[in-house]
Amino acid sequence: MKDILLIGDGGHSKSVIDILEQEGQFKIAGIVGFDKSIGSNVLGYQVIGDDSDIASLSKIYKYAIIAVGQIHSPEKRIKIFSFLMKLGFVLPSIISPRSYVSKHAIIGSGSIIMHDAIVNANAVIGDNCIINSKALIEHDSIIHNHCHISTSATINGNVIVGEGSFIGSGAVTNNSIVINKNSFIKAGVLVK
């Protein structure tokens, strides 16, 4: 197994840890979190540094995954993603073994497909996206970079979700619509 660094020590990191443990492709080498968290543990994995240590850690570790969530704004995840790429980290796509991803779908760098999510045929997921637990991305839909599709959200066929968008839990889109860049869709709504 290859060593991987987790960037983020909050609630979302726990879900990422669970998927990495089940996927079995990577061994968690440590977590980069807040300065006050250094030396503490998240589900048994040590916080080994903060943001100021990432550059030096890039000389030791090749792989990293962003374990910071996204609700109000994608800015923090975008900033971290750009910084990690500039340092030469490889950000693999992480796919829960409890999800279904069509062999005809494309998943971008640093994106995570969480438990029980479905990504159907000819769907495209951009870089640095969260496809959260039980989300459905239907055929021919495009989720642009830095999006978070929340728990149990449904993106129906031929939908384009603009970069940096957040789709709330349980939201449902009509087919063949375009959701503008940096949109914030509340939980439980129908998007027409």
Given 86, 116, 132, the domain boundary residue is 86
Domain contains 94 = no
Q: pLDDT averaged over the chain?
A: 97
Domain contains 91 = no
Domain contains 27 = yes
The predicted structure's pLDDT at residue 72: 84
Q: What is the pLDDT of residues 133-174, one digit of tens each?
A: 999 999 999 999 999 999 999 999 999 999 999 999 999 999
Which range is least confidently modeled, 35-39, 75-79, 178-182? 35-39
The predicted structure's pLDDT at residue 139: 98
The predicted structure's pLDDT at residue 71: 85
Domain, as residue range, for 51: 2-86
Q: What is the pLDDT of residues 175-190, one digit of tens each?
A: 999 999 999 999 999 9
Q: What is the mean pLDDT of residues 110-129?
A: 98
* Rg value, the chain, Cα: 16
First to last CA, the chain: 44
Which residues lie closer than 8 Å to 108 by C-beta, 6 or more apart?
Answer: 93, 124, 125, 126, 127, 128, 129, 145
pTM, to two decimals: 0.97
The predicted structure's pLDDT at residue 12: 96
Which whole-number Å values give the CA distances from 130 to 37, 44, 70, in the listed order?
24, 23, 8
Q: What share of the chain is helix, strand, coil (3-state, %, to 5)?
A: 20, 30, 50
CB atoms within 10 A of CB 177: 15
Q: Which of 30, 89, 10 is CA-nearest to residue 55? A: 89
Looking at the structure, tell me whether residues 36 and 69 fall in a common domain: yes
Q: What is the mean pLDDT of residues 51-61?
A: 97
Q: What is the mean pLDDT of residues 105-121?
A: 98
The predicted structure's pLDDT at residue 50: 96
Looking at the structure, tell me whether residues 109 and 185 fall in a common domain: yes
Looking at the structure, tell me whether residues 68 and 125 fall in a common domain: no
